[in-house]
Amino acid sequence: MHARRWLVALLLGLSFGAVHALTPPQALALAKGENEERIAALQASLARGDDGLAAFVQAMLDDAVKLAGDKVFIVRGDKASDAATGADARLPDGAEDLVNSNQMRRELEGALAALKLFSHDLGERRAAIKALKEEADEGRLPLIEKALAAEQDAALKEQLTQVRAAILVSSTDAGKRMEAARALAGSLTPATKTLILERLKPAADGGETEVDIRSQLGIALGAIDARLAWGERLGVLFTGVSLGSILLLVALGLAITYGLMGVINMAHGELMMIGAYATYVVQNLFKSHLPGLFDAYVIVAIPASFLAAALVGAALERSVIRWLYGRPLETLLATWGISLVLMQGVRSLFGAQNVQVENPSWLSGGVEVLSNLTLPFNRIAILAFAVLVLAGVALLIAHTRLGLFVRGVTQNRRMAACMGVNTARIDTCAFALGSGIAGLAGCALSQIGNVGPDLGQGYIVDSFMVVVLGGVGQLAGTVYAALGLGVLNKLLEGWQGAVLAKIMVLVFIVIFIQKRPQGIFAMKGRSAEA
């Protein structure tokens, strides 16, 4: 590793053109003295492109530098070397550790990031430019200009141009400030917007004094605002679609049970909770017995959550709900009581506190689309998962024997029974299927938040709204309603806040159902005419 750092430093020096070796006095100036003096020496060394600077800065950040009088040493393990030349040396008795203040460490980290502008690795150069964007420092301008001349990647070259402009906008030269103001109009970062706002302060507060430059900065600010607004709009749209995919997963199972049997299942949220806790159990088993395969626990948790919720749902249907068909009020009260029992049972087994389900590494982080828009991987995965579940349910309903029976019982239960369909068994299978899908929704929700006994309470009302709005028993309507309500809710939240947005959505649904009681898609068949 030590040799690699020296090699990187040599390559950096070659990238600068004329190479200046780091001399002992320069190394001493970097390591000894007041912060202001050391920072000035660091900026001067950066501007010269001193050979060995990267290795020395890294050693200071690693707390591997010691001082003995006017000598500076790098100590790693039991080996000491001269900080300037890199030659092996004997560490004198009484050598003291170099202590860096927080301010100095920030300067050193910034300098190391700047030196990475000349790395052969595209990712390192991109990260270095991103770090420089956060803090415009005129002392790094010579280094940035050299990196700009050497950069071959067009996108990174454009970003470096923006960093250079962000530095020059505070220059003492009015011509350079005007040039920078024009260049900043192409920036997409909130940091540049903050910088321009700082320059647009009144002249008495340190803002720009030239009228024409202030005018150009205003034009640049408008251009940046327009670009950032697109990031905000796309962010709201993605958040709405993400919420819609969650509502779709939650409501999909309810669409089957409510559409087939007319059962108002108030325990649907708790079936989702069971799926989430099944995911938690699988995660803990992998942690204890298969830690090396932890990233794969979600693959096992998906069928486990489905089976756990489906078995509980089948047991509920066989023991309680089968006796209450055709009595919606009693069904509502019974399933509400069941939901309380399930919540208390989970509290007894796992405790009343929320439990944490960890994301596997491949679901952590996100993809940066714009400077102010990052799409989290776990949300993208849930969106894709919802599409796969929807496709699976659609195929099952449209192209399997069970799906044929379910459609037959949904459209005309008595006629299906006359044709030899075991409607009681179909009821159980359909209820178990709907419960299993609720379990899958719980598995998905565990990846974006904590899991607790009250997990399902926040989604049961929304899921019923989706089913009723889409049309009872209609999968296509459920999809449109879930995505539409998700996007509408997020749009209204940005306008009026979360509470008023929820009220406005409820008012919209009430008005819509009054005008179209059958929902977006009406049920077809003889039962629709009854």
Tokens of 457: 């309470």
> Long-range contact list for 361-366, CB < 8 A, 24+ apart?
361/295, 362/295, 363/298, 363/447
Domain boundary among 84, 114, 144: 114
Indicate if 432 and 309 belong to the same structural domain: yes
The pLDDT assigned to 302 comes to: 94
Mean pLDDT of 189-218: 79
Q: Which of 311, 227, 329 lies closest to 271, judged by CA?
A: 311
Pure H helices in 262-296: 268-289
CA distance 486 to 53: 53
Count of domains observed in the chain: 3
Mark whether 104 and 131 lie in a shared domain. no
Residue range 212-216: mean pLDDT, rounded: 85
Two structure tokens written together for 219: 């034009």
Place of tokens 């009220």: 503
Domain membership of residue 35 (yes or no) is yes
21-31 per-residue burial string, b: 16 or more CB within 10 A, e: under 16? ebeeebbbbbb
| Per-residue model confidence as pLDDT tens digits over 244-297 | 888 888 888 888 877 666 788 888 889 999 999 999 999 999 999 988 888 899
Instruction: Kindly state the tokens that stand for 393.
Output: 């349910």
CB 485 within 8 A of CB 466: yes
Is residue 301 pLDDT above 50, yes or no? yes
Say what the pLDDT of residue 66 is.
86
Residue range 178-194: average pLDDT?
75
Q: What's the predicted TM-score (pTM) here? A: 0.68
CATH of residue 367:
1.10.3470
DSSP 137-197: -GGGHHHHHHHHHH---HHHHHHHHHHHHHHHTT-S-HHHHHHHHHHHTT---HHHHHHHH
Q: Are residues 367 and 301 in the same domain?
A: yes
In this structure, the answer to whether residues 237 and 197 fall within a common structural domain is: no
pLDDT at 529: 43
- Give yes or no: residues 327 and 435 share one domain: yes
* Strand, coil or helix: 97: strand
pLDDT confidence band for 476 (50 / 70 / 90): confident
> Is 521 found in the same domain as 424?
yes
| Whether the Cβ atoms of residue 52 and residue 6 lie closer than 8 Å to each other | yes
Q: Of 212, 147, 206, 144, which is closest to residue 182 (Cα–Cα)? A: 212
Paired tokens of 209: 């004094």
Average pLDDT of the residues in 512-524? 72
Mean pLDDT, rounded, of the chain: 81
Q: Given 66, 92, 114, which residue is the final one in a domain?
A: 114
CB 441 within 8 A of CB 309: no
Q: Once rounded to an integer, what is the mean pLDDT over residues 473-491? A: 81
Give residue-wise pLDDT tens across range 350-363.
888 889 888 898 88
More confident residue, 18 or 243: 243
Question: Parallel, antiparallel, or unpaired: how do β-strands 71-76 and 79-82 relate?
Answer: antiparallel
- Which tokens go with 237? 């749209």
Return the number of other C-beta atoms located less than 10 Å from residue 355's C-beta: 18
Note the pLDDT tens digit of each residue in 8-36: 333 334 333 444 567 888 888 888 888 88
| Count of other CB atoms within 10 angstroms of residue 317 | 23
pLDDT value of position 522: 59
Domain end residue (candidates: 114, 133, 163): 114
The dihedral region occupied by 49, where left means phi > 0, alpha psi between -120 and 50, and beta the remainder, is left
Q: Is the pLDDT of residue 140 over 80?
A: no
The span from the CA of 425 to the CA of 382, in Å, is 32
Q: Do 249 and 192 belong together in one domain?
A: no
Nearest Cα to Cα of residue 314 among 409, 431, 423, 437:
431
Q: Indicate whether 358 and 247 sit together in one domain.
A: yes
> Which amino acid does the sequence have at 337?
G
| pLDDT of amino acid 305 | 95
Q: What pLDDT, in 10s, does the model give residues 98-138?
A: 888 888 888 887 777 777 777 777 777 787 777 776 665 66
The angle formed by the CA atoms of residues 455, 458 and 461, to the nearest 5 degrees, is 135
> What is the residue whose two structure tokens read 């001269």?
82
CA distances from 160 to 42, 44, 196, 318 (A): 21, 20, 17, 67
Q: What's residue 412's pLDDT? A: 77
pLDDT value for 277: 94
Same domain assignment for residues 465 and 362 = yes
Can you tell me which residue has the tokens 């420092």?
137
Please give the backbone phi and psi of residue 109, each rounded to the nearest 5 degrees, phi first.
-65, -40
pLDDT tens column, 412-430: 778 888 888 888 888 888 8
Domain that holds residue 253: 230-525
Helix (H, G, I), strand (E, B) or coil at 448: coil
- For residues 78 and 98, membership in a common domain is answered with yes
Q: What is the pLDDT of residue 139?
A: 62
